[in-house]
Amino acid sequence: MNLSFLKGKALLLVSALTLFLAGCGTNELSTLRPAGEVGREQFNLMILSIIIMLLVIAVVVVLFTIAVTKSRRSKKGEDFEPKEVAGNHTLEVIWTSIPILLLIVLAIPTVYFVFKQADTEAMTDADGNVNAEETVINVRAYQYWWEFEYPNEEVVTAQELVVPTDQKVYFNLQGADVKHSFWVPAAGGKMDTNIDGINSFYLVFDDDKSQDADRLFYGKCAELCGPSHALMDFKVKALPEEEYDQWLADMKAVEEPVQASSEDAQRGEEIFNNSCMGCHAATPTSPGAMGPNLTNFGDRELIAGYLEHDQENLEAWIKDPESFKPDNKMAGTYELTDEEIEAVASYLMELKVEEDSGDVSQLREPAADEESEEGGN
C-alpha cells in the first residue's frame, strides 16, 4: 500500500516538473519564445495541434468516465447485457467524421504556411540573379563551422551571422562536405544544407524581440554530421537596418588585412601569413575558403563557436583543436611552438573592423552601376 502511494506521488511530481520545465527557455534559444514572423506562425501551429490533442483527450476521458461509472455491475446487476451497437451506421459516421474534421482543421493552416514560407521568389530578379533590393545570404556549412556570404555586397564572414531586423532575410543553404541543417530556434524551423543542391527559405527577426535577447540569438546544426556535431554552433546578431548597413559598409571597406600593432602581434602576423593564410582569409572576400574567414575575429563573441573569447582559450584552441572539436579539419595541418602560438593568438585578437569606417551610400554601388549600364543598353 505504501509502495503504491509513493509511486503515485513520484508520478505526480514528475508530471508537475514536466509541466513547469516545458515553459523554461531563453529568448535567444527557445522555439517557445518566437522572435519573428516565421517562428510565430510555426509556434501557433504547434499550439493549434496541442489544443486539438487536448480536446480529443478530454472527450475520451469524459466518455470513459461516464461509461465506467454508469455501467458498473453493482448498478446494473449481474444479468445486465449492454445494447449491441456493432454495425450502427450513425455511430460509425460520427467517429469517422470527427477525426477527419480535426485533420482538416489542422491541415488547412499547415498547408497554407508551408507554401507561404517556401515562397522565395523575391530573392531573385527577372533574370534569375540575386535581387539587389532584398537581403540575401548564402550559407555554407562545413565540418564544423559556418560561412556566411552577402552576395549583393560581396562580403564574407564566418561563425557570426549578422542580419537586419523587421524584414525578410533570404537564405541559400548548401553543405560543403556532408549534410548539415541550419537552425535558429528562436526565429524558425530548421532546413537541411545538402551537398548536391541549394535549399532556400527566409526568416524574420523582430526588433523588439531582438532587444529582449540583447540582439544575439543562437544557431545550431540540427543534423548529425560527425563527432563534433553538438559543437557546431553559431551566433546571430540582429541589428536595426541602419546599424546593419553600417556593419556591411565597414566590412566592405576592409581591403587589406589589419596591420598588427604590438611586437608579439607583428611576429604573429608574419607566422599567420606563412602558415595560416592558405586556409584562412583576413579580408571579407573570396567565399569557399578551406577555413573560417577571420576578418573580424577580434570582434566575435566566441572561439570555435562555443569557447569564451579570450587569448587563453584561443591559444589552447590553436595548440590542440582536436581536444575541443574532435575530427575537425584544422588538427594536424601545422606545427607551431608555444611561443609562435602565443604570437599568432595576439595577432588574431587584433583582427577587428573599424566602426563607421565604411560609406553606407556606396554599399550597393556595384549593383546600381550594373542596373544603369543595363538601362543604357
> In sequence order, what DSSP letters do the residues of 318-338 get, joined into one string?
HH-GGGTSTT-SSTTS----H
pLDDT for 206 equals 96
Across 64-85, average pLDDT: 77
Predicted TM-score of the model (pTM): 0.84
374 vs 377: CA distance, rounded Å: 5
Most confident range (mean pLDDT) of 200-204, 279-283, 324-328 is 200-204
Instruction: Flag whether pLDDT at 21 surpasses 60.
Output: no
Which range, of 26-30, 347-351, 356-360, averages the lowest pLDDT?
26-30
323 vs 317: CA distance, rounded Å: 8
**Cβ(159)–Cβ(235) below 8 Å:** yes
Instruction: Flag whether pLDDT at 114 surpasses 70.
Output: yes
pLDDT in tens, 173-195: 999 999 999 999 999 999 999 99
pLDDT in tens, 136-155: 999 999 999 999 999 999 99
Other beta carbons within 10 angstroms of residue 62's beta carbon come to 10
Handedness of CA 247, 253, 257, 262 (dihedral sign): negative
pLDDT for 202 equals 96
> In sequence order, what DSSP letters do the residues of 58-94 get, joined into one string?
HHHHHHHHHHHHHS-HHHH-TT--PPP-TT-HHHHHH
pLDDT for 111 equals 96
pLDDT for 4 equals 63
Instruction: Flag whether pLDDT at 214 surpasses 60.
Output: yes
Instruction: Flag whether pLDDT at 169 surpasses 60.
Output: yes
Which range, of 15-19, 266-270, 350-354, averages the lowest pLDDT?
15-19
Per-residue confidence at 25, pLDDT binned at 50, 70, 90? Answer: low
Across 11-21, average pLDDT: 63
Per-residue confidence at 5, pLDDT binned at 50, 70, 90? Answer: low
**At residue 318, what is the residue type?**
I
168 vs 239: CA distance, rounded Å: 13
34 vs 205: CA distance, rounded Å: 9
Kindly calculate the radius of gyration of the chain based on its CA atoms and give it in whole angstroms.
28
Across 351-355, average pLDDT: 91
The distance in angstroms from the start CA to the end CA of the chain is: 91
40-52 per-residue burial string, b: 16 or more CB within 10 A, e: under 16: bbbeebeeeeeee
Angle at 149 between CA 147 and CA 155, to 5 degrees: 120
